[in-house]
Amino acid sequence: MKFLTFTDLHEDKDALLSLLKRAKQEDIEFLVTAGDLTVFGKSLRYVLKNLNDLGKKVYLIPGNHESDTMLNNVLSDYPFCINFNSKAISLGNYVLLGFGGGGFSVEDAEFRKISRNWYSQYQDNKTILVTHGPPFGTKVDILEGKNVGNRDFRKFIDRIKPKLVICGHLHEAAGKVDQIGDTKIINPGWDGMVVELN
């Protein structure tokens, strides 16, 4: 399974063109984005149309610049773009878990509620967790020398041990990679990263 992942595009047309060029190549099966496609919703349709025109599935969650409602109001026009916020999607041998929005919250009661269900249903599966904000205590959540990530995300990672965590939000951490036990943590940034999983 090989896919392209990115985050925090913020309607940057040059970055989008670069991502589209890589995504068009045959080895990329689908795309995953961790939110903030836009600047507060501006150019949302432009970005979604370009992604949709690839003809490959694009799994997305909202960032703090979009909302579920904003996405769901337009996604019917872009059938290859799938909002998986607070949902689980089976992809081959993996389960993709998505939780968008927020970014600066260090705790999240809604995530705790959803993650309890995920743990009971998917603890024995290979999982990929996609959040907009970063988990606490890694290279991807450092801002001005301090860890500012979400502690509830971290607890879930420690407990369920996903194969991969994709997050964004902190532009300062774009391109950074870290590890929590056997879990790889990445902030692919707007330049994107290609991920291959067995």
Largest CA distance in the chain: 43
CA atoms within 13 A on the CB side of 13: 4
Instruction: Tell me the average pLDDT across 3-7.
Output: 98
Instruction: Tell me the average pLDDT across 191-198.
Output: 97
Pick from 72, 5, 62, 56: which is nearest to 33 by CA?
5
pLDDT score of 76: 97
Q: How far apart are CA 127 and CA 89, in angstroms?
A: 10
pLDDT score of 49: 98
pLDDT score of 36: 98
Residue 131: is its pLDDT beyond 90?
yes
Tens of pLDDT along 31-47? 999 999 999 999 999 99
pTM equals 0.97
Mean confidence (pLDDT) of the chain: 96
Of 3.20.20.140, 3.30.1490.20, 3.60.21.10, 2.30.30.40, the CATH number of 2-196 is: 3.60.21.10
Tens of pLDDT along 9-25? 999 999 999 999 999 99
Q: What are phi and psi of 54, to 5 degrees?
A: -65, -30
pLDDT band, very low/low/confident/very high, at 104 (cuts 50, 70, 90): confident
pLDDT score of 156: 97
pLDDT score of 31: 98
Q: How far apart are CA 131 and CA 122, in angstroms?
A: 17
